[in-house]
């Protein structure tokens, strides 16, 4: 029948669009052909969706954009993938990322750089840059990314789409290749806040395969159109104190605050003293957890194996060949901060600062419904232009605190800076994800 044909055509159109633009954009590491694409019954039957290539897909290669997993074909689906399929979505391919999601530009993929659809000489952001470019360019209707310190929100901001990092524990991490387990969350990347809410409705919930998931059923859609009249918003003074803030991004941020006030919100500047330590804290904790999580790639259990005479040499040559420079840097950083000599000075100290930051944020959320910041201090930058690791890490100045505190955070497109999209970030209290989306819906 007609409807059936129309539905099928969605997949065809997605594939033809990918065929038309992906040679240049390079959003995808793997694109399925029409026969390989599973079309299931369900309310979202045949709607084309892309999955970041660090989320496992049964019988579809999952590389994490790393040479060490270049030929890895998982025997099972991540919980989020299983849920999307059950709702009818058609997975058309796996998207590019910074290797093991370590990065903010997709330049650190072991395979190739993805380009920003708004300006092909610029990065799409990262680490979920492939997913962001695929949605922004219209290759797919929606995508999933993962966010450990901003990897859903920042590429969404750079590409002019919506990206949402849920409360820690709301979405199952089963089948998400672990980077920093206490920070990682999977989140939707879409053209509208409503679409993000629809995906959240499908993918959230308790999962027996992820013991950190929480048993709550949330309604993301019923109140989403109800506006923000009377809501209280905190704007951290630390945003203005950050000297790397782009002038035009700052202007868009001011305009957004004006809009929020016009819609009946009350905005107040607040001091969140520990906010300025978030990036430093993140770059101790994330590499520490990564160094432990990545120990499994030893040339024995998964992926690449470079056989040498001795076991130790096999490990070391396999890992040195298989991991890229950024991943090796993080493993070394993490091993160092977890070592007996430096544990107290670095890792343990970072854990304490993380607690203080969460306490500070709790105090803010006693008085406010949400915190507003720009998602990124700058718009999309030129490919190859930021090479110093510290300057590169500093770009995460506004996103990492949400992961450290486990709170929900949304990036919504809001105007342009230098002709490139700007994202505004809305951060809420733990488990107030529907409220965060409702606020985003009001300002998009």
Q: Supply the residues annotated as catalytic.
A: 52, 127, 151
Cβ distance to ligand GLN smaller for residue 66 or 104: 104
Among 151, 281, 291, 376, binds ligand GLN (CB under 6 A): 151
CB of 307 to ligand GLN, least distance (A): 32
By CB under 6 A, tell whether 21 contacts ligand GLN: no
Q: Which of 104/442 has CB closer to ligand GLN? A: 104
Query: Starting at the edge strand that comes first in sequence, how are the strands of the sheet with 232-236 ordered?
Result: 28-31, 90-95, 48-52, 142-147, 185-190, 162-165, 409-417, 420-428, 370-374, 232-236, 266-270
Question: Could you count the other beta carbons within 10 Å of the beta carbon of residue 259?
Answer: 15
CB of 105 to ligand GLN, least distance (A): 9
**Which C-beta is closer to ligand GLN: that of 308 or that of 329?**
329
How far is 409 from 371, CA to CA, in rounded Å?
Answer: 9
Three-state SS for 336?
Answer: helix
The answer to whether 157 and 376 are in contact (CB under 8 A) is: yes
Residue least distant from ligand GLN (Cβ): 151
DSSP string, 83-114: HHHHTT-EEEEEE--SGGG--SSSTT-SS-PP
Report which secondary-structure segment, H or E, holds 282.
helix 278-293
131 makes contact with ligand GLN (CB under 6 A) = no
The number of residues making up the chain comes to 444
The single-letter DSSP state of residue 25 is H
Binding string, residues 386-405; x marks residues near ligand GLN by CB under 6 A? ----------x---------
- Pull the structure tokens for residue 237: 């003074």
DSSP, collapsed to helix, strand or coil, labels residue 48 as strand
**Joined tokens for residue 107:** 């330049």
# residues near ligand GLN by CB under 6 A: 13
Binding mask 281-300 for ligand GLN (x = CB under 6 A): -----x--------------
Both tokens of 223, joined, read: 């109140």
DSSP state of 236: E
What minimum distance in Å lies between the beta carbon of 169 and ligand GLN?
17
Question: With respect to ligand GLN, which residue has the nearer C-beta, 48 or 150?
Answer: 150
Q: List the one residue from 150, 236, 265, 303 that touches ligand GLN (CB under 6 A).
A: 150
Residue 108 or 441: the one with the smaller Cβ distance to ligand GLN is 108
Q: Which residues pair with 176 in a beta bridge?
A: 55
Nearest residue (CB) to ligand GLN, 52 versus 441: 52
Smallest gap from Cβ 10 to ligand GLN, in A, equals 30
Query: Which residues are registered as beta bridge partners of 378?
Result: none
Minimum distance from residue 97 beta carbon to ligand GLN (Å) = 8
148 binds ligand GLN (CB under 6 A): yes
Please choose, out of 4-12, 144-152, 298-306, 426-434, the segment that lies near ligand GLN by the rule CB under 6 A.
144-152
Contact mark string toward ligand GLN, 90..129, x via CB under 6 A? -----------xxxx----------------------x--
CA atoms within 13 A on the CB side of 389: 11
Q: Which residues bind ligand GLN (CB under 6 A)?
A: 101-104, 127, 147-151, 179, 286, 396
């Amino acid at each position: 029948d007609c409807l059936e044909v129309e539905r099928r055509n969605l997949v065809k159109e997605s594939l033809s669009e990918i065929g038309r633009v992906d040679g240049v954009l390079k959003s995808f590491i793997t694109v399925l052909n029409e026969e390989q694409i599973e079309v299931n019954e369900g309310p979202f039957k045949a709607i084309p969706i892309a999955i970041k290539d660090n989320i496992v897909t049964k019988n579809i290669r999952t590389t994490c954009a790393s040479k060490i997993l270049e030929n890895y074909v998982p025997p099972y689906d991540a919980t989020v993938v299983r849920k999307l399929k059950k709702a009818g979505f058609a997975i058309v391919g796996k998207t590019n990322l910074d290797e093991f999601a370590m990065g903010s530009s997709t330049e650190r993929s072991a395979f190739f750089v993805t380009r920003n659809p708004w300006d092909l000489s610029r990065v799409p952001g990262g680490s979920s840059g492939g997913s962001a470019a695929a949605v922004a360019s219209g290759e797919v209707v929606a995508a999933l990314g993962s966010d450990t310190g901003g990897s859903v929100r920042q590429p969404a901001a750079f590409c002019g789409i919506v990206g949402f990092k849920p409360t820690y524990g709301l979405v199952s991490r089963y089948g998400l290749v672990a980077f920093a387990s206490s920070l990682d969350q999977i989140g939707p990347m879409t053209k509208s806040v409503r679409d993000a809410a629809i995906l959240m409705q499908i993918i959230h919930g308790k999962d027996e395969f992820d013991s950190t998931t929480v048993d709550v059923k949330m309604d993301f859609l019923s109140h989403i159109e109800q506006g923000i009249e009377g809501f209280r918003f905190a704007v951290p003074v630390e945003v203005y104190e950050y000297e790397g803030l782009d002038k035009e991004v700052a202007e868009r941020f001011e305009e957004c605050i004006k809009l929020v006030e016009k819609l009946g919100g009350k905005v107040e500047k607040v001091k969140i003293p520990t906010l300025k330590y978030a990036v430093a804290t993140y770059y101790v904790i994330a590499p520490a957890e990564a160094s432990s999580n990545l120990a499994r790639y030893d040339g024995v259990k998964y992926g690449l194996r470079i056989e040498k005479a001795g076991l130790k040499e096999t490990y070391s040559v396999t890992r040195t060949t298989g991991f890229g420079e950024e991943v090796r840097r993080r493993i070394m950083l993490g091993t160092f901060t977890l070592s007996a000599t430096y544990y107290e000075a670095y890792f343990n100290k970072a854990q304490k600062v993380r607690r203080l930051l969460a306490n500070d944020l709790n105090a803010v959320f006693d008085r406010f419904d949400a915190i507003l910041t720009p998602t990124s201090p700058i718009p999309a930058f030129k490919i190859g232009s930021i090479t110093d690791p510290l300057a590169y890490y500093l770009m995460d100045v506004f996103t990492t605190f949400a992961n450290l505190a486990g709170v929900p955070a949304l990036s919504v497109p809001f105007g342009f800076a230098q002709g490139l999209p700007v994202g505004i970030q809305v951060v809420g209290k733990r488990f107030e994800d529907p409220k965060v989306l409702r606020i985003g819906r009001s300002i998009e």
